[in-house]
Chain A
Amino acid sequence: MKRHLRLFALYFAQYAKVRLAYKADFIIAFLSSMAATVLGFGFVLVLFTKIPKLQDWSFYEILFLYGFSLIPLGFFNVVSWNLYQFGDLYIIQGRFDRILLRPVNTLFQVLFEKFRLESLQEVVTGTFVVAVAASKLHVPWPVSNYFWFILMVASGALIYLAVFLMLTAVSFWFEDRVGIVPPVFNMLTFGRYPLTIYNVFIQFMLSWIIPFGFASFYPTTHFLGRTSFNTYFYLVPVVATSFFMLALFVWGRGVGNYSSTGS
């Protein structure tokens, strides 16, 4: 464990050096990425000039939910790059051979070989929006909420990682020519609005099949004092851990099934 932490620090520092070698380039990437995230709020901002509430959610409550959803997503996006390219780079081009030769966990190596550093802006932007929304809403914020907040962010990131890790592991068995990742990725949008506006089928799917609801909606309900979802709130870490264990299992089976391209 200690060795892995040290390795993570080394991997991260190494990649940060590579990126920061071109400072202007990195700053442009960071700022334009932030502009993109801010523009993403445009729909909600314009919408609420015309309506007072979305179901029984006020403008700042929606902002809180949307902002919160960005924080775990930002952390996930920092490492997600490697997952999207996994099939092409590691399986088809055979780079996975190199991973297997090293005495370090395979997933650890794949996730931390590259970092999308600019995605940290989503964490910054999301936290800022949540802070503004929380202060406007005057929500009670006991000290224990800091603990819950961090736990929920970690759980959310773990859920995103678990879902996309399972989809990535599919490439151990067959080349994904259909492209199952983009539709699932687009389902993230569902998580930015109250789950209650959707029909039962979508609510069920977002809770128990692709559990994005547990990464943004259910955590938010607790912080906004919507006690009717309390059970789901306390289930968040459980769901995150279970899905992640499942993803690790699928990944492990995939690694066992791997046979090199053999060039």
Chain B
Amino acid sequence: MGTADLALPSRPERTFSPGTLARIYGEFVRVGFVNTIAYRLRYYTGIVTYFIYVSVYYFIWKAIYAHSASIEGFDFSHLLTYVAVGWIMRSFYYNNIDQDIANQVLEGKLAMDLIKPVNPQAMYIAQALGESVFRLVMLTAPTAVVLLLVYPVRRPASGWHLVAFLVSAVLSFFLVAAINFAVGTFAIRLKSILGLLRAKYFLLELFSGLLIPISFFPHVFQVALAFMPFQYISYIPVLLYLGKISGLGILRALGLQLFWVTAMIALGHGLWTWSSRKITIQGG
């Protein structure tokens, strides 16, 4: 796994200098990247898969916009761009931390995570980051090229909007990773969480705004979703790209996104502490 390369102290201590920390978690990023290379061929069909995702919604929206010029301030080209950029982003931020934890639990390997003198949450997120860097090169970039060639996707509203979008996309990665980690901790207490993970998968697709902009939801839902982190995964970043958020609104959007990343990391940390205490009791 490459973890053997780490110079582990003979007696695990939990305080490291910032430089050592960066080296350790940097190593996990590398491991995540390298592990993914084994599946590199799968990313070719991944491009096809993402192309199919976008195509289905392209045809649905095309049929809809044949009868109306604008819905909730989106004309067809905005909406097509919304869909395409949303899926392109997803090809980057997507990860399976929750499923990885579930597998570790099922295979009884979770103890290995607990005895490492590192923060398990940071370790899982670092590995996922390595995987996402790989996806960025092997999946996101080619998918973006194909989609831009086939469909009339709009350019970003301005240079500043592009910068804000890119920052936001990175924050999306951390938001999804933090949420997935928090969900994954439930695997420790429940026996099988595959059904739960499937439900979470569809929940995120819908409430992140990936399938349909949040402004299309009934008002009650919009109010409720404003108090949840999901729309910061896809809806807000893509609005930045489209230039539907401007000026100080950009800083406010990024600030709120950062807030939710922090909140979800804190939640995941709390859940892990709570769940791993339970293991100790059971393991006697």
Contacts and interface: CB of A to CB of B under 8 A. Distances in A.
Nearest to A37: B202
A69 to B, nearest CB: 13
B249 to A, nearest CB: 24
Contacts of A198: 59
B102 to A, nearest CB: 13
Contacts of B68: 51
B52 A189 contact: yes
Interface in B39-94: 41-42, 44-46, 48-49, 52-53, 55-56, 59-60, 62-64, 66-68, 71-72
Contacts of A40: 202
A54 interface: yes
Main secondary structure of the interface of A (DSSP, over half): helix
Nearest to B218: A49
Contact of B196 (A28, A54, A180): A28
A177 interface: yes
Interface in A194-223: 197-199, 202
A182 B194 CA distance: 18
B49 A183 contact: yes
A63 B27 CA distance: 49
A262 interface: no
Interface in B196-231: 196, 198-199, 201-203, 205-206, 211-212, 216-218, 221
A36 B41 contact: no
B58 to A, nearest CB: 10
Contact of A47 (B55, B66, B67, B216): B216
A35 B198 CA distance: 9
A47 B48 CA distance: 26
A55 B52 contact: no
Contacts of B63: 54-55, 197
A25 B45 contact: no
A143 interface: no
Contacts of A22: 191-192
A39 B52 contact: no
Given A189-B52, A197-B62, A198-B59, A178 B42 contact: yes
A227 interface: no
Interface of A: 22, 25, 28-33, 35-36, 39-40, 42-43, 46-47, 49-51, 53-55, 118, 177-180, 182-183, 186-187, 189-190, 193, 197-199, 202
27 contacts: A22-B192, A25-B190, A29-B195, A30-B195, A32-B196, A32-B199, A36-B198, A39-B199, A39-B202, A46-B221, A47-B212, A47-B216, A49-B216, A50-B72, A51-B67, A51-B71, A183-B45, A183-B52, A186-B49, A186-B52, A187-B52, A193-B56, A193-B59, A197-B62, A199-B59, A202-B55, A202-B59
